[in-house]
Structure 1
Amino acid sequence: MTRDEALHILGLNEQASIQDIKSAYREMAQILHPDKYTHNKRLQRRAEEQFKNVQDAFRYLLKRPAPTDTADPESAFSPASSVTQGQATLAGTLAGVIAARVQLIEQRSQLYEQRTFAIICLIVGVLVALAARRYPILGIVSVAAIGAGVVQFITSLQSLIFIKERIEVLGKQKQDLEEQLKQ
């Protein structure tokens, strides 16, 4: 990993100070920490992968400070460059928000597939129940299919509602951050 790659992962530019690096890391940790996604193992695994990248970048940058970093980081740049540092922090936050939003959108797509599967289970269960008048074993199968379909449908619907709300919140955060960066 190079310094530029590590800075990119944290959403920072080359002028980032140690405080900027620490701040960007904390923000990314709040967004990508795997403990926030315990309700979905797949999303949690993705968050773990991305969080490991963020941790690696953070460790790399702390071990290899920029040549301009000094014992007093505030003296390393003028007030004009501190605006750039603030924008770099906003850009890092924006990158994290975008990454989280992309993950949620992918998870939403998977939940749509699960909901479709649940509907198919319900339909198959009803059709098998209609055919089960002569064969009692088919009645048991139809009840199982209907039960699985109902449980899957309710679970996916609840998750879709939660994810839709989170996507909207992240979308608003993204817009706010983009507006702040334009200023």
Structure 2
Amino acid sequence: MPLDTFQFARAEAEAWKLAQLGPNPIESNISVEHVPNEAATVIRPRWQVDASWTYNSRFFGGGFVIETEENVTFKGVLTSAQVASPLQAEFCSLICAMKMTRRLGLNSMRFESDCLELVRLIEEDEDWPSLATELEEFYATFSSFHFDNGLKLKEKGKTMNSARG
């Protein structure tokens, strides 16, 4: 994997982590602990997913941050053959994370993404012919999880989907 792709994925993971802290305490004059924000309550285990895509590149990259318990974090990256769009790269990264979760023997995981377009695509169950393969693979993988509260899909910093087994 090219070093710049790895560095970009790492920077994206750090930005994601900072986004989870909510409003800047200096700007709001309120300490982070007192900010009423859903992001302050971290539900674990969780898997944060992000992708990096560049036009005319041979590859795209993905980054993962897995938190299984408080202070227990794993990070990873992936490189794969280039896909047609940034949305497709985000989708492929999510599917890869879901498959890794199952390979690890976990049937309970909260997936999070900052890609609003991906969240809406899944939430609204839209028909996107250009993503038919990814949608089919997503639903096949998705069916291997058990959900007690249904599927929750929200914007950046919120739940991507929550699987409870």
**For the superposition of Structure 1 and Structure 2, which TM-score range results when normalised by the shorter chain?**
under 0.3
User: When the two structures are superposed, what TM-score results if normalisation uses the length of structure 2?
Assistant: 0.23
- The structure whose residues are more often strand, as a share, is 2
Which structure is higher in RCO with an 8 Å CA cutoff and minimum separation 6?
A: 1
Asked which structure has the greater CA Rg, the reply is 1
TM-score calculated relative to the size of structure 1: 0.21
- Choose between structure 1 and 2: higher helix proportion: 1
